[in-house]
Amino acid sequence: MKKLIIVSAVSLLTLTACEKEIDLNLENKSGQLVIEGNISDKEEPHIVRVTRSVAFTQANQYPAVSNALVIISDNLGMIDTLKYTSDGNYNTEKLKAGVSGRTYTLKVLLDGKTYTAQSELPEKVPLTGLKLIPMTFLGNTNYDVLPEYTDPPTLGNNYAFIVRANSKKGIVFEIESDNLGNGVANQRDLDIPEDDGDSVKKGDIVYVEMRSIDKNIHTYYTAVNQLTSNGPGGGISPANPPTNISGGALGYFSAHTSQILSIVVE
Partner 1 sequence: MQKFISCILVLVLVLFIPTLVLAQHKYSLSGTVKDKQNGELLIGVVIRLEENPRLGTLANEYGFYSLSLPEGNQTIVVSYIGYEVQKIKLNITNNLKLDIFLEPSSVAIDEVVISDKKSDENLSTPQMGTEVLNIKSIEKLPVLFGEKDILKTIQLLPGIKSSSEGNSGFSVRGGAVDQNLILLDEAPVYNASHLFGFFSTFNSDALKDATIIKGNAPAQYGGRLSSVLDIKMKDGNNQNFVTNGGIGLISSRLSVEGPIKKDKSSFIISGRRTYADLFLGLTEQFRENELFFYDLNIKANAQINKNNRIYLSGYFGRDILGLSDNFNTNWGNASGTLRWSSIMSKKLFSNTALTYSNYNYDINFKNEVINVTVRSKIQDWNLKKDFSWYISDNHFIRFGTNTIHHTISPTTINGNLSSSFARKSRTSLEKAIYINDDHKVTNKLTLSYGLRLSAFTILGGDTYNIYENGVLKDSVQLAKGDWGKTYFNLEPRFSSNYRINQVSSFKAAYSRNTQNLHLLSNSTSGNPTDQWIGSSYTVKPEISDQISLGYSRNFDDNNYEINTEVYYKNMQNQIDYRNGADISFNAGKDIEADLLFGRGRAYGLEFIAKKKSGKLTGWVSYTLSKTERKIDGINNNQWYNSRLDRTHDLSVVVTYLLSPKWTLSGLFVYNTGNAVTYPTGKYEINGQTIFHYDSRNADRMPAYHRLDLSATYEAKKGKKLQGSWTFGVYNAYGRQNAYFIEFQDNPDREGTTRTLQTSLFRWIPSITYNFKF
The footprint of partner 1 on this chain (CB under 8 A) covers a number of residues equal to: 85
Angle at 225 between CA 15 and CA 32, to 5 degrees: 120
HSE (side-chain half, CA atoms, 13 Å) at 74: 17
Task: Tell the smallest beta-carbon distance from residue 78 to partner 1 (Å).
Answer: 26
Span 179-218, contacts to partner 1 by CB under 8 A: 179-184, 187-189
Per rule CB under 8 A, is residue 101 in the interface with partner 1? no
Distance CA 167, CA 159 (A): 21
Per rule CB under 8 A, is residue 86 in the interface with partner 1? no
Task: Tell the smallest beta-carbon distance from residue 94 to partner 1 (Å).
Answer: 25
Q: SS3 letters for 66-81?
A: CCCEEEEEECCCCEEE
Stretch that binds partner 1, among 24-32, 108-116, 198-206, 257-265 (CB under 8 A): 24-32
Distance CA 150, CA 182 (A): 9
Task: Tell the smallest beta-carbon distance from residue 120 to partner 1 (Å).
Answer: 18
Per rule CB under 8 A, is residue 34 in the interface with partner 1? yes
Cβ-count burial of 67 within 10 angstroms (0-12 exposed, 13-18 middle, 19+ buried)?
A: exposed
Span 144-163, contacts to partner 1 by CB under 8 A: 144, 146, 155, 162
Stretch that binds partner 1, among 76-84, 120-128, 198-206, 246-254 (CB under 8 A): 246-254
